[in-house]
Amino acid sequence: MILRDFKRLKRSLQLELLETEGIMLVECRGLRVTMELYAFLDYYVEVFRGQENDKIIMIQAFDDTECLEPYLEQIDISGLVPRPI
């Protein structure tokens, strides 16, 4: 599924796909909003939830890696890096 098609899906189907096939990279909690960043196929998806009611505020999908800049220090890649012998 290409990015354009994902963006056209109903929000409930987007969430179902992320939960079953996406890889959560990081979760950030703010004062009022929790943001989850997923890798999905060959693009990324941000899910914004209200903390008081866990309601989805927005889902934003993108393939521009510049949009990952705010998350780079928070993403744990230790499992991807070979360990010394």
So what's the pLDDT on residue 71?
82
Which stretches of 2-75 are assigned E, i.e. beta strand? 23-29, 33-40, 43-50, 56-62
CA distance 35 to 48: 5
Could you tell me the residue ranges of all domains in the chain?
3-55
The pTM for the full model equals 0.83
| Mean pLDDT to the nearest integer, 32-40 | 94
- The pLDDT tens digits of the residues spanning 41-85 come to 999 999 999 988 889 999 999 999 888 888 877 777 666 566 677
